[in-house]
A = this chain, B = another copy of it.
Amino acid sequence: MTDLDQLDRPREACGVAGMWSLKGSGVEVARNLFFALYALQHRGQEAAGICTWDGKRLHVKKGQGLVSQVFREKRIKKLKGRSGIAHNRYSTTGGNDLANVQPFYLNTNDGTIAVAHNGNLTNARTLRRALEVGWTSTSDTEVIAQALARPLDDEERAGAPDWPGRLERLLREAQGAYSIVVQTPEGIYALRDPHGFRPLCLGVLKEEGRPQAWIAASESCALSPIGAEMVREVLPGEIVRLDDEGITTVRAPQPGLFEQTALCIFEYVYFARPDSRVDGQSVHVTRQRMGWRLAEEAKVEGDDVVVIGVPDSSLVSAMAYAARAELPYTEGLIKNRYIGRTFIEPSQAMRQNKVRLKFNAVRDNLEGKRVVLVDDSIVRGTTMEQLITLVREQGGAREVHVRVAAPPIKHPCFMGVDLASHGELIAHEHDEDEIAAVVGADSLVYLSLEGLHAAVDEGAATAGGHCNACFSGKYPVDVRACLADEDQKHSLAGRALRIAEAV
């Protein structure tokens, strides 16, 4: 399979959502969750699932492919109930392993639960061994679900399951990145790990001013399409419940838990949709500021210069770069609007320049020009090399100057993003000049890490810090186990000991 949509781009692991509606509200939970997933499609395109709870039974539909491919009207109608959770997944294991598609559900001695999870547990293997059960999948989500199925030591006297208590235990025991929604008979729980690596926001669906339903979703861009208003974000280390009482904090971030916020800074650079608000600010505007900073740090001087961006994700910073640098902006690359996954291998001839399958250069705008090509990030560098060839050969550019609106990616991510291993990252061992030589650019400059932080911090609502480990190598949590895995195979995939393969 060839994913022409994401040539040499980091891959996000997941998008999650959960909704609870009032009895008699008439809110179709599954339908709303579908359109929430539809809006979160950029966070995972390999599989999707929705499960709903009708008070007696879970109704589940999972499948592989885009959200719009997995669901049919008939199935949405069968997903009955006034609460539910949903999940978009970018598979990191390859293989068509439906067992790993979320949500994951279990029938516990204390009732049925379902879990959807965005992130990566860095101590999953330890947790797995500590729970003496058999596993049906290799996903972290099953670890989370079985951990929640295990009663607390002193729970029995209560006569009822203490879900908040079990979730709090999870916050103590699970390390790494996790934004989770949990369906229980008594409500939807939503929580973020103490570092808050992955975003998670809360919204409300009103009718004539009165709340009808509450929703938790990975990004705020999922709210507007379903007519919901944003309430706030779940805080790092916080556990909230969505039920007939609305949104209740059942465990506030603990001083001991809430050590240090480390929101993934790459959400601003690439993952999050530009129309989402993360940590109180518009992602689109943040990217404009990255473009401005980049222009200040690395303007291309001289005549006959035009600025172009790589569609779609880099156009904002490219336009901002051009504006701040007072250089003309133009469209230099046209993208096939219908690009996406295909199961057909390109022929040998096409593989020599795969980006031609995705882009054409607009010769009328580029011929004879000194082109500034703005991109948002470079992972392996292979795509950039082909883009430059395209801009020169098909576009007729005289020079190509690459400007990247983020710092060099030098380290893998172990918090739920599939970047690449150390050895695959072009910036791990090469500096800007070397990279320019490899990709064939006349010059190549990255935004500084300070510049990126400045662009992001300027509008941040909270004083929260960011995880920049992929740029700096400074991981906020212990990743030694992950680094050990990397020796075998990069990042998440190394952990994917498939127990069974459907044939």
Instruction: Spell out A's residues near B (CB within 8 Å).
Output: 27-28, 31-32, 34-35, 38-39, 41-42, 45, 51, 57-61, 66-69, 71-73, 75-76, 78-79, 105-109, 112-113, 128-129, 131-136, 138, 145-146, 148-151, 205, 207, 221, 224-227, 273-275, 282, 284-285, 312, 315-316, 319, 329, 331, 334, 336-338, 340-347, 349-350, 352-353, 356-357, 360-365, 394, 497-503
Contact = CB atoms under 8 A, between A and B. Distances in A.
Contact of A350 (B72, B78, B227, B365): B227
A350 B226 contact: yes
Contacts of A135: 106-108
Contacts of A331: 274, 284, 315-316, 319
A337 B39 CA distance: 9
A251 to B, nearest CB: 22
A334 B284 contact: yes
Contacts of A498: 57
B31 A503 contact: no
A500 B347 contact: no
Contacts of A148: 134
Contacts of A362: 274-275, 282, 284-285
Nearest to A343: B72
Given A31-B347, A71-B344, A79-B503, A150 B132 contact: yes
Contacts of A112: 499-500
A362 to B, nearest CB: 5
Contact of A501 (B59, B150, B205, B350): B59
A134 B113 contact: yes
A347 B32 contact: yes
B273 A334 contact: yes
Nearest to A98: B98
A353 B421 CA distance: 44
A162 B226 CA distance: 55
A493 B58 CA distance: 18
Contacts of A27: 347
Contacts of A361: 275
A67 B342 CA distance: 8
Contacts of A78: 503
A314 to B, nearest CB: 13
A42 B109 contact: no
A369 B335 CA distance: 30
A252 to B, nearest CB: 27
A59 B334 contact: no
A55 to B, nearest CB: 13
Given A38-B338, A57-B499, 4 more contacts: A39-B336, A42-B338, A60-B500, A73-B344
A138 B106 CA distance: 10
